[in-house]
Amino acid sequence: MTDETSDRMAASDGVLAAAAAGGDRLAFDALVGRHQRRATQLAYRLLGNMDDALEVTQDSFLRAYRRLASLSAPEKFQAWLLRIVSNQALNYRRGRALRKSSSLDAPGGGEQEDGRGELNLPDPSAPAPVQEASAKELQRQIQSALADLPEKQRLALVMFSIQKMPQKEVAQALDMSVEAVKWHVFTARKKLKDKLKDYL
């Protein structure tokens, strides 16, 4: 490990983000290495699919790199990045739902032939179609309600209640007090409960 690499690993997010904004690609690589795991975990919690999460994480880092000049407080890079990941993941989820809807409407979209002209019969041990449809509808409603929350409430809820991050870490990531995190989580849970009362 060179001294330069060691210096970058020891540097703060603010120093690295400022250097990356000035064109230092290695500084941005250091930021990616430092935050990739948490960003991927957040995307996975929001999307429920690792391939999609990896794609969203990669897109989010690319978007962050292109927008570094707009980051007024480089020391808050992590919170800024996680907001990008959250928004990208929710946009990706909406797009995925639209793509699925379009494929169902397409001619032949409902056929389940195995290539020999025979229809594939459902697995008798699989959940009943009505149950599966209900579970999917509930999931869709949860994601919709989550997307409607104000940004800080959504991120606080996802990080604390879903990602199981300690309140102190959530507070640091979102640049707020622990008490504010508690309030945002409480408020977000109440709003979700109200929106989902017909489904729970």
The per-residue pLDDT for 28 is 95
pLDDT digit string, tens, across residues 12-22: 999 999 999 99
User: Within a domain: residue 112?
Assistant: no
Q: Answer yes or no: do 15 and 61 share one domain.
A: yes
Per-residue three-class SS string for 143-197:
HHHHHHCCHHHHHHHHHHHHCCCCHHHHHHHHCCCHHHHHHHHHHHHHHHHHHCC
CA distance 135 to 153: 25
Q: Answer yes or no: do 63 and 2 share one domain.
A: yes
User: Within a domain: residue 147?
Assistant: yes
**CATH number, domain containing residue 172:** 1.10.10.10
Residue that the structure tokens 């990531």 belong to = 173
CA-atom Rg of the chain in angstroms: 21
**Contact indicator for 10, 27 with CB cutoff of 8 Å:** no
The per-residue pLDDT for 39 is 93
User: Within a domain: residue 7?
Assistant: yes
For the chain, give me the number of helices (H) and strands (E)? 9, 0
User: Within a domain: residue 168?
Assistant: yes
Q: Which domain holds residue 17?
A: 1-77+84-95
Nearest Cα residue to 42 out of 165, 185, 171: 165
Residue 148 reports pLDDT greater than 60: yes
Q: Answer yes or no: do 137 and 88 share one domain.
A: no
The per-residue pLDDT for 90 is 80
Q: Answer yes or no: do 89 and 138 share one domain.
A: no
User: Within a domain: residue 31?
Assistant: yes
Q: Answer yes or no: do 89 and 40 share one domain.
A: yes
The per-residue pLDDT for 1 is 58
Give the torsion sign (CA, 139, 143, 148, 154).
positive
Give the torsion sign (CA, 9, 13, 18, 20).
positive
Q: Answer yes or no: do 68 and 152 share one domain.
A: no
Residue 194 reports pLDDT greater than 50: yes
Q: pTM value?
A: 0.63
User: Within a domain: residue 50?
Assistant: yes
CA distance 24 to 19: 5
Q: Answer yes or no: do 138 and 69 share one domain.
A: no
Task: Over range 95-110, report the average pLDDT.
Answer: 54
Find all residues with CB under 8 Å of 89, minimum gap 6, and list them. Answer: 42, 43, 46, 47, 53, 56
User: Within a domain: residue 102?
Assistant: no
User: Within a domain: residue 103?
Assistant: no
Q: Answer yes or no: do 21 and 91 share one domain.
A: yes
Q: Answer yes or no: do 73 and 147 share one domain.
A: no
Q: Count the residues in the chain.
A: 200
Of 43, 69, 95, which closes a domain? 95
- Provide the CA 33 distance to its chain's centre, in angstroms: 18
Counted domains in the chain: 2
